[in-house]
Amino acid sequence: MNAAERQQERAEIMKRIETAKDALGKSLIILAHFYQEDDIVRYADVVGDSLQLAHAASVQKDARYIVFCAVSFMAEMARIICSPEQEVLHPEPDARCPLADMAAIEKVEAAFEGLKATGKKRIIPVVYVNSNADLKAFCGRNGGLVCTSSNAEKVFRYVFSQGESLFFFPDENLGRNTARRLGIGDDEIVIKDPSSMSDETGKGYIEKAKIFLWKGHCYVHTEFLPSDIARVKDRYDGIKIVVHPECTPEVVSLSDYAGSTAFIKDIVERSGPGTKWAIGTELNFVKRIKDGNPDKLVVPLRESGCSDMSKVTPQKLLTVLEGLLDNRYPGRVAVEDGVSKDAKKALERMLEVS
């Protein structure tokens, strides 16, 4: 297919999406994560980060169909939050988050039992929203809760006010960066390495540990390096660096700001004309911020994209929408009842704390 044919095919798909959206009217709501491509975002009723989308899913009481354009754990989260009468659909079930898949429920359960056996009085499990439903359910069953990069600090504070220590999974970097913001030192953190199930810092530290951190990471955000910061600072006089807290603590500590995608969007939008920004997060999102702020200089700290988020395409969105018109449900999301009930407890605790 040549470029002109591709362009024509794209235009045809776009037109059919519009037609299907019009036909479905108010029964349909499309939610899209900030990391989705522009050709998806243009059709979304709500675009946001995980916390904003969790909230949006929880208040869409009138929509019969919720189409979630993101990776699978987010669509699962909507399924857990929404009422059973609502259908949640995910255009590409194979769009999974590799970070979420770094913590398997059996290993997390075994690690938790091991931690309890150390004699710690109370350990509260906290799971990053980038996780599969069974881990959220584990937290719900064990008095724990979910957090996002927007509210991690609040959730950690809440946990410390309730218990003795915290078991956080699956993102080590968000856990350590949040700990640092709360003044918790590396000597109060123990790493749980799922490949060996050993405690990286040794048994001697367990007694004084405040946080047990799962050794998982996001491949998109760990691409950013201290040398990227040095390079852009050298090239652009007065540039500010803002990164996502899934970046390594070394990168976060060299940056001017760190925060969720909603935080990053907000800080750039509220800055004055002529300001310069280098952003360390997913590339589709950085490009959109750049386009939305033509009076500022916005550059990616490095070009690092999430190929999993990009698996949701306009063609796949169209398949879902036209399927709904035919009373079929392609990409219907299902979460087993018991898992859903427990996971919902962990999500509701988060929404209460946030």
Q: Which of 37, 92, 199, 308 binds ligand SF4 (CB under 6 A)?
A: 308
Q: Which CB sits closer to ligand SF4, 37 or 87?
A: 37
Q: Give yes or no for residue 306 binding ligand SF4 (CB under 6 A).
A: yes
Q: Give yes or no for residue 218 binding ligand SF4 (CB under 6 A).
A: yes
Give the residue among 162, 166, 90 at the shortest CA–CA distance from 127: 166
Q: Which of 97, 139, 174, 209 binds ligand SF4 (CB under 6 A)?
A: 97
| Smallest distance from ligand SF4 to CB 222, Å | 9
From the number of C-beta atoms within 10 Å of its C-beta (0-12, 13-18, 19+), residue 202 rates as exposed
The separation between CA 334 and the C-alpha centre of its own chain, rounded to angstroms, equals: 20
Q: Report the C-alpha gap between 145 and 346 in whole angstroms.
A: 4
Q: Give yes or no for residue 330 binding ligand SF4 (CB under 6 A).
A: no
| Smallest distance from ligand SF4 to CB 294, Å | 26
Q: Give yes or no for residue 243 binding ligand SF4 (CB under 6 A).
A: no
Q: First CA to last CA across the chain, in angstroms?
A: 49
Got the DSSP string for 260-293? -HHHHHHHHHTSPTT-EEEEES-HHHHHHHHHH-
Q: Which CB sits closer to ligand SF4, 130 or 178?
A: 130
Q: Report the C-alpha gap between 251 and 243 in whole angstroms.
A: 8
Which residues are registered as beta bridge partners of 213?
168, 191
Q: Give yes or no for residue 282 binding ligand SF4 (CB under 6 A).
A: yes
> What number of chain residues touch ligand SF4 (CB under 6 A)?
12
Q: Give yes or no for residue 71 binding ligand SF4 (CB under 6 A).
A: yes
Q: Which CB sits closer to ligand SF4, 49 or 342?
A: 49
Q: Which CB sits closer to ligand SF4, 65 or 214?
A: 214
| Smallest distance from ligand SF4 to CB 35, Å | 6
**Radius of gyration of the chain from its Cα atoms, rounded to whole angstroms:** 21
Q: Give yes or no for residue 76 binding ligand SF4 (CB under 6 A).
A: no
Q: Give yes or no for residue 99 binding ligand SF4 (CB under 6 A).
A: yes
The token pair that represents 165 in the structure block: 């220590």
Cβ atoms of 287 and 39 within 8 Å: the answer is: no
The token pair that represents 45 in the structure block: 């009723």
The token pair that represents 295 in the structure block: 């009076």
Q: Which of 52, 130, 177, 284 binds ligand SF4 (CB under 6 A)?
A: 130
The token pair that represents 5 in the structure block: 């044919």
Q: Which of 54, 115, 309, 333 binds ligand SF4 (CB under 6 A)?
A: 309
Q: Draw the binding track, 21-60, toward ligand SF4 (x: CB under 6 A; -: no contact).
A: ----------------------------------------
Q: Report the C-alpha gap between 95 and 157 in whole angstroms.
A: 33
3-state secondary structure of 85: coil
| Smallest distance from ligand SF4 to CB 202, Å | 29
Q: Give yes or no for residue 248 binding ligand SF4 (CB under 6 A).
A: no
Q: Which CB sits closer to ligand SF4, 130 or 165?
A: 130
Contact window for ligand SF4 (CB under 6 A) among 118-126, 197-205, 301-309, 339-347: 301-309
Give the residue among 132, 102, 52, 134 at the shortest CA–CA distance from 338: 134
Contact window for ligand SF4 (CB under 6 A) among 152-160, 230-238, 306-314, 331-339: 306-314
247 φ, ψ (degrees, to nearest 5): -70, 165
Inter-CA distances, 252 with 147, 173, 256, 279, Å: 19, 10, 8, 12
The token pair that represents 61 in the structure block: 């009481």
Interface residues with ligand SF4 (CB under 6 A) are: 71, 97-99, 130, 218-220, 282, 306, 308-309
